Amino acid sequence: MARSRAAYEYTEAEDKSMRLGFLLIAAGLLSLLGLGCCWLRPALQERGGGGSANCTVLAVRQLGERFACTFSCGAACRGTARYPCLQVLVLTSRSSAPALLHEDERQLRTNPKCSYIPPCARDDQENSENVTYKQKYWKEKVGSQPFTCYFNQHLRPDDVMLKRTHDETVLLHCFLWPLVTFLVGVLIVVLTICAKSLAVRAEAIKKKKH
């Protein structure tokens, strides 16, 4: 019995390999749990009850109201500027009521009253010019051409998005890399145990022959 126990004692290299495997397994499981609770579940809730539709521009206008944004001009240099509010109203193929278009979910949460937030510049005039350029784009280049937009009837029935922040590719990577980490850890543990078992059996056969 003592000889059998001694034979199955892991070397220092095998012990490190086992620890690495268990560490990867734990990291994969914790990543899946963390991403599922903190990121994946809200993303799926945003996608739940939503879908895509064809949108057509109904009206493009600038409101008189201006909103504040924060610009950075260096490591310890920050300031506040203002930009005009651009609204792009669209009609969707799923509803006869007009909806307000937004760039994505992030922009919608930042400023739900406007359709576009320009990159914040120090000069208010530059911010106004960026918004005016975007206004001309929607009026002249897009015009009455239909385009794909996304909606969520449960969360924001009066708003549509030009693109999704959480698309299928991001959701796939959210599952893929923690799963790969977990499987690599399992593989390392299994291979280490198998290699040790084969080594013990080979040693036993060698002793029997002698």
Is the pLDDT reported for residue 139 higher than 70? Answer: yes
pLDDT tens by residue, 63-107? 888 999 988 877 677 889 999 999 999 998 877 789 999 998 888
pLDDT tens by residue, 6-20? 555 778 888 888 899
Is the pLDDT reported for residue 1 higher than 50? Answer: no
For residue 51, count CB atoms less than 10 angstroms from its CB and return exposed for 0-12, middle for 13-18, buried for 19 or more: exposed
Q: How large is the average pLDDT for residues 43-50? A: 53
CA separation for the pair 196, 9 (Å, rounded): 9
Q: What is the DSSP string of 168-182?
A: HHHHHHHHHHHHHHH
Is the pLDDT reported for residue 131 higher than 90? Answer: yes
Helix (H) or strand (E) run with residue 82 in it: strand 77-92
Across all residues in the chain, what is the average pLDDT?
81
b/e map 114-152, b = 16+ CB within 10 Å: bbbbbebbeeeebbbebbeebbeebeeebeeeeeebbbb
